[in-house]
Structure formats: C-alpha cells, structure tokens
Amino acid sequence: MMCHKLIFACFLLLGSLSAHAAPLVQTVPLRDMEAWLVTDHSLPLVTVKMAWRGGTASDPDGKAGLSMMLARLMNEGAGELPAQSFQQAMADNAMSLSFSAGRDDVTGTLRCLSKYKHACFKLLRLALTAPRFDDEAVARMKREQLTAILQAQQSPRSLANEALMAMAFDGHPYGQARNGTEESLAAISAADIRTHYQAMMARNNLHLAVVGDIDRAALRRLMRDIFAQLPPSSRLPKAQQATMRNGPISRHIERAGPQTSIVFAQKGLGHKHPLFFADFVMNSILGGSGFSSRLTEQVREARGLAYSVYSGTSNFGQAAMWNGSVASDNATAQQAMDVIRVEMGRIANEPVSDARLAAAKTYLTGNYALRFDSSAKIAEQLLGVQLNDWPIDYFTTRNANINAVTIDDVQRAAQLLTPDRLLVVSVGGTAIALD
C-alpha cells in the first residue's frame, strides 16, 4: 500500500513541476577563476553563491569556532563603513549578504534586485577585500556564538549530534564543535580572525555560482572587479585525511525527560564510490523517503515507537558517514534502536521488490525538480555540484544514473551496512545497548 501511495504522489509531483527542467549552465572563465552561470531574466533578481575551501576543519588547535566567527563577521563592517553603517547600506540597496561556515568550507550568499546590482557588488567587494573585524563587532559576535553554544546544549538532538561527531572523528578537526567552546572562543582575537581570512579567501580556493538577471559580460565584470582582487593562492594547511572510527561503541548522556534522542552512524560511501547512486536509492528505501521508508513503516506505523525516524549519508571533504536518528519514549528507546538494526540487516539480506525500487526511483527523480524552482535554489545546486567535484553535466545525468540502479545494485550497497558495528549516542533517560 505504501508503495502505491508513493507512486501516486510522485506522479502528481512530476506533473506539477514539469516546468522546472535542469538548468542551462554556462561556464564563465576569467584568468585563474571559473564561475557557473544560469541566466534568467524572468525576475529582476541576482543571486551570487560563493565558497572557499577550509571551513571549521581548518580551525587551529585550541581555537575551534574561528571559521564560524569569520563567517559571522564578514558582513559586520568593511572599508570606511563600520558595522551599523554597512548594514544600513545593505538595507538601502535591498541587499541580502550572509556567510556561514561548514566543516569543509565557508560560503557566502548575495541576493539583490538587478537594478541595484552595481551598488550591491561594490558592497560585496568591500566585504571580501576590506573587512574591518572591529573589536566591538568581534565581541558582539562572540556573545552571539556563545549563546548558540549554550542553546545547543539544551537540545538533546544537537547534543547527541555533537557527541557523535566527536566519537566518530576523535582526534580529527571534524570531531570538534563547529561553534567552538567557551574556552576556545576566549582564545580567539581579532588578529586571529584576520589571519584566517587572509589565509583562506583566495582565488584558487574559490567556487562561484551566479543565477538570475545577469549575463556573461556582467558576470565577467563582477569577477574582474571583485574576485580577481583576492590573493591568488590560499595559505591554509592541506586538509587532514579523516578516518571514521568503527563500532560498536555506545555513549549515553543522561538528561531528565520522558524521551531519549538517539543518533547512530557508520562509515558511508563517498561521492566517487561506484555504488554511490545505488547507495542513494537504497537509503531512500530504508530511511530517507519520509513516510514511505521501511524504518518509518516498522518503527512508527507498525509499532508506534517514534513519531519520526530517518537515515541518510553525510559527505564531508575527507570522509563519508551514513547516519540516522530517532527519538522514542524512554521505555521504548531500546526497542526502536533494535528495530532499526533489524531493518538494516533485512535490506542487506532480502532483495527489495520491483515495486519498492520503482517507487524510490520515481520519488527521487520527481523530487529533484523541487531543487530548481527558485534562483536561490538553483544557485545552491550549482555551488553544491562544484564543491562535490561533480561534472557540469550532473544536472542532466543524475536522474539517468538513478534510473539505472538495479535490485542487485541496491543489495550490494545495503551489504555495506554494518548494524553490528554502529556508533550510537543517546541523550535522555535510556542508555542504548548494542549487544
């Protein structure tokens, strides 16, 4: 029944989103840089997505949170404009400019009306080439980041995820908290932030995606006037190779309350693995396609052990992790985890049905159109494909690769699951046993 429901929903999805075809992507080279461009004059908007390799994995020892601090400060004053004046200039030009730090990169997003793009591009140039890092702004962003740390400690899911990363990548920068700690933030100075900015933000470290009411000539001017002003080469140390630990390892964090939040993980398949698309389809069947997944059917619908349960793959620059999560009443948390492990074994040992495979393919290929229904989403996809080091034709070959997956492929990918060697973190009233 679930498969029939999913197929029907996916046909509705395909019909409603047929207009959102894969975008026509142009490459725009300039000197030692290249941008990906999708021109769309239907709306007077321009979106610029940019990323520099580095991210929180590049934070020096004892200064976890440095890249996050850098990202928070990139729109807090530049050139002659202190923070408040810079923010007012953005507001005057209806401009949005934000930055964030992932584990492997620092990303920035500019969105503006095309009629204001020249003024907005000037502000972007100031932000990228002359950030101020004033003491007042640094102190204010430290307070905000410390608040984020304290808030995360009150969230069982956030606490569990942070503990899982520390367990999985013990001794590697992936294992440290992205926001840092109270002690590491205290050790970060404005000079540290400036040094990190100067080392990271260079042309050979840049990925650039632009979408909207802008043509090739205007983009080349943008690249020449802004990004060409950055240093040619990054001075960050080479990224450390990461090796994820094997289980079984279980850690419990006691927390008063009626529920236990559980996160679990094992080594995953990277983007370049020959079974990557088979693994993608397999995981959609197992735990990645919402209410139609086997985990939802068995954990939620058949037994009522949880409201939601999920599994997926997290790909980092130096490692891949298959991971999942569930929250259950303290009295049923162990049973929920046991059912998940049984389902991991079942999909490895029993071939999926033709109907189940067809439903997963229909869902994954039909759902892809949702990623291209706005200029912001298209820019996000363009940047993501670059950061994953996929070819530019990924947008047109992705669905064909999914449709080529066979039942045998799914089972081969599933046989790489190791339910007896999981890393598990639980936060709440029940410790999870892996016997």
List the domains of the chain with CATH numbers: 26-229 (3.30.830.10), 244-428 (3.30.830.10)
CB 427 within 8 Å of CB 325: no
**What's the token pair of residue 5?**
């429901």
CB 117 within 8 Å of CB 46: yes
Q: How far apart are CA 266 and CA 247, in angstroms?
A: 8
Q: Residue 429 gets which letter from DSSP? A: S
Q: How far apart are CA 364 and CA 403, in angstroms?
A: 9
Q: Which of 225, 232, 234 is nearest to 125 (CA)?
A: 225
Strands (E), 142-287: 206-212, 249-254, 259-267
* Non-local CB neighbours of 237 within 8 Å, separated by 6+ positions: 58
User: pLDDT by residue for the chain (435 residues), tens digit each?
Assistant: 444 334 333 433 333 333 456 789 999 999 999 999 999 999 999 999 999 999 999 999 999 999 999 999 999 999 999 999 999 999 999 999 999 999 999 999 999 999 999 999 999 999 999 999 999 999 999 999 999 999 999 999 999 999 999 999 999 999 999 999 999 999 999 999 999 999 999 999 999 999 999 999 999 999 999 999 999 999 999 888 899 999 999 999 999 999 999 999 999 999 999 999 999 999 999 999 778 899 999 999 999 999 999 999 999 999 999 999 999 999 999 999 999 999 999 999 999 999 999 999 999 999 999 999 999 999 999 999 999 999 999 999 999 999 999 999 999 999 999 999 999 999 999 999 998
- Quote the Cα angle for 160-163-166, to 5°: 150
Q: Which of 344, 233, 230, 340 is nearest to 296 (CA)?
A: 340
For residue 45, the tally of other CB atoms under 10 A from its CB is 18
CB 226 within 8 Å of CB 128: yes
For the question of whether the overall pTM of this predicted structure is more than 0.85, the answer is: yes
- 3-class DSSP state of 32: coil
pLDDT for 290 equals 76
**What's the token pair of residue 54?**
């580095």
Q: Give the N- to C-terminal CA distance of the chain in Å, as an integer.
A: 34
